[in-house]
Chains A and B, each alone.
Chain A
Amino acid sequence: MIELVGLAKSFGAVKALAGVTAKIDGKLVGLLGPNGSGKSTLLKCLLGLIPFEGRATVLGLSSATDGQAIRDRVGYMPEQEAFLAGMSAVELCTYAAELSGLPRSEAIQRAHAALYYAGLEEKRYQPIDGYSTGMKQRVKLAQALVHDPELLFLDEPTNGLDPHSREEMLELISDLPQRRGCAIVLSTHLLPDVERVCDHAVIMRAGQVRFAGTIDELRGVRGDERQLAVDVKGDADKLAAALAPTGATCNVQSPIKLDVDLPANATSELLFATARTHGLQVRGIEVRRESVEAAFLRVIGEDAAP
């Protein structure tokens, strides 16, 4: 989907992108990084809006020479408001589709379909100026996908939304690759959003890609067979107490769940044996993995926040 080879961009003495080489694939990709990490510059380079050194291809097209063709095949949902004064949602989306090369009759039809899909079916004839934040986010999504893009860049799509609207927006985002066959790059501060919808992640720091791969790879790098999440029948406190003399460290999460760190050289057999000895029943066991947030902090270095 996206390939970067030695991508570099400087603004005066500031290196915004320092020779980035990465291959980005996946249907739902989370683009993460602290402020100033180079995400905006990367996006501009990918869309062919600014010159750069190195090579970048999007959907098989060169960002250096085929910027216009790329932008016809890509949809962009900006974080900030990007509307035209006095227009209704259906007018805006029709105009957006026409600007991407669709004939007017097709543009009108797709504008209605996109707004209906985004949940604005009843409000689409009203001026956008009077919309709530949630409705404006939906219009931004609709105008980004109205021209049938193969790749969508979504910039903070859940910004300013209440929990219910946020959940609906994430539901729409999750649904897009399956229903519309487009891939999504989700740039956000909200790591739970990435954890909720993304299957891949790209983490940037100081103009470099620190990680590019699946969410499982991101979280699983720290997977350790001695760090376990355990479900028990009965009292988790009892199992914790029973494991204490063996040198295991336990952290009870709930009456039936606990995290267990086994001592060096021990295996899960120690856990089962201890439970058996004390008449406790282990119902589930899995290697404990990091949250996306913990993995993100580890990748960028714990001194930097998202």
Chain B
Amino acid sequence: MSSAIHDLGYKRYVGTRRASSTRWRVIARHQLASAWKGWWRWKLAALLAVIPAIVAAVWIFLLADKLSLLTGGRVPVTLADGALPMTFGGYCSIAFVASLTVGASIIAGDVQSGAFVFYFARSTRPIDYLAGKLVGYAIVIASIIALGPVLVAIMRVALSTTRDTHELVAHLALIPEALGVGLLATLAYTAIPLGFSALVKKRSQALGLWAAYYILVGSVLAAVGLVGGLGWLASLDVATALKAIADAVFDLPALMGPKHVGIPISACVISIVGQSALALGIVYWKLSTSQKAGVGGAT
């Protein structure tokens, strides 16, 4: 039987071990690597994200001075001016696709495969797991919803031929604004799906729950809120809240008419931050209870 044992010259490890406070980086790197596996996850979303960038490029570089028909002719906004706010909605949709293919199943998948025991029998703390998964997945989402709009903003600035300093500064300001809105959207599309992922024990259930919340519940809330003049209710819909914030930051409400009038921007920000905080709280609670319950003998 000894022939079954193979030892490649075993030596006890005597080097230093990395501090436990750095374990989240290992988890984040693993999360990125697993999101990159297979064509239908991060790669698909990244590919889709090219589409609004191309549309924006066409509007900015080829049709820059054409007037946008989206305002119904009421306001003389050019396609170049509208490129950023118009494409933001597209980036939101792609981020939602990525949240379905990558995000919603992260924690539920680990529960389903018994991975919590794998993590928590080691020196991994719930906060390490949460930080690692959150950062890893947030990078995936940010590469779409933050990087995309920033790219469009840079294209818009690059086109600017104005010699008016104030106008140039206004255009330059689009870049940090796009980054800010993108990061807020990243928070929403990262934290909230993870919260749903922590509520159930199967990947398919987590995916269905998040999709139903985003599409069905969100649409109902937005419709009732807008029709009933209850802006705060409409702001509970993630997509509507993000669009309203983006429109406000990119100066679109004045151009686009009353669609989002009545949705207080502060309510939208509170809604996004609040839902994200609640989701992260659920995840942390789930991880803490799993750490205590997930390891043990069977006999």
A and B: bona fide binding partners: yes
- Which residues of A pack against B, CB within 8 Å? 31-35, 39-44, 47, 49-50, 68-69, 71-72, 76, 78-86, 95-96, 98-103, 106, 110, 112-113, 116-117, 119, 121, 143, 147-148, 153, 155-156, 167-168, 171-172, 175, 179-181, 187-189, 306
B12 contacts the other chain (CB 8 A):
yes
- Annotate B117-144 by CB proximity to A: 1 below 8 A, 0 otherwise: 1111111110000000000000000000
B296 contacts the other chain (CB 8 A):
yes
A74, B292: Cα distance in complex, Å: 17
A113 lies within 8 A of B10 (CB) = yes
A172 lies within 8 A of B123 (CB) = no
* Contact partner, B12, options A81, A100, A112, A148, Cβ 8 Å: A148
In the complex, 19 of the A-B residue pairs with CB atoms within 8 angstroms, ordered by the A residue number, are A34-B299, A40-B297, A47-B295, A50-B292, A72-B123, A80-B298, A84-B118, A95-B26, A99-B23, A99-B119, A101-B20, A101-B23, A102-B18, A106-B13, A113-B8, A117-B8, A148-B13, A155-B298, A179-B10
| Majority secondary structure, B binding face | loop
B114 contacts the other chain (CB 8 A):
yes
- Chain A residues with CB under 8 A of B266: none
Interface centre among B112, B120, B124, B298 (most CB of A within 10 A): B298
**Given contacts A119-B6, A175-B5, is CB(A98)–CB(B26) below 8 Å?**
yes
Please name the residue on chain B nearest to A182 by beta carbon. Answer: B12
B291 contacts the other chain (CB 8 A):
yes
A86, B35: Cα distance in complex, Å: 11
B6 lies within 8 A of A84 (CB) = no
B1 contacts the other chain (CB 8 A):
yes
A117 lies within 8 A of B113 (CB) = no
**Given contacts A43-B297, A72-B20, is CB(A82)–CB(B118) below 8 Å?**
yes
A180, B10: Cα distance in complex, Å: 7
B295 lies within 8 A of A171 (CB) = no
- A269 smallest CB distance to B (angstroms): 42
- Chain B residues with CB under 8 A of A116: 6, 8
**Given contacts A40-B297, A84-B110, A156-B298, is CB(A110)–CB(B13) below 8 Å?**
yes
B66 contacts the other chain (CB 8 A):
no
- How many pairs of A and B residues are in contact by the CB < 8 Å rule? 157
B281-298: which have CB < 8 Å to A? 291-292, 295-298
B34 contacts the other chain (CB 8 A):
yes
- A139 smallest CB distance to B (angstroms): 11
- A133 smallest CB distance to B (angstroms): 14
A156, B297: Cα distance in complex, Å: 8
B14-46: which have CB < 8 Å to A? 15, 17-20, 23, 26-27, 30, 34, 37
A84, B111: Cα distance in complex, Å: 10
B207-233: which have CB < 8 Å to A? none
B2 contacts the other chain (CB 8 A):
yes
**Given contacts A148-B12, A171-B2, is CB(A72)–CB(B299) below 8 Å?**
no
**Given contacts A82-B118, A95-B26, A100-B122, is CB(A306)–CB(B113) below 8 Å?**
no
Known contacts A78-B117, A306-B299; 10 additional CB pairs below 8 A are A42-B297, A44-B295, A79-B297, A84-B110, A101-B19, A101-B23, A116-B6, A147-B13, A155-B296, A179-B5
A179 lies within 8 A of B7 (CB) = yes
- Chain B residues with CB under 8 A of A35: 299
Please name the residue on chain A nearest to B38 by beta carbon. Answer: A86
A175, B121: Cα distance in complex, Å: 23
A233, B17: Cα distance in complex, Å: 62
A103, B115: Cα distance in complex, Å: 22
- Chain A residues with CB under 8 A of B123: 68-69, 71-72, 99-101
A80 lies within 8 A of B114 (CB) = yes
- Chain A residues with CB under 8 A of B37: 86
B109 contacts the other chain (CB 8 A):
yes
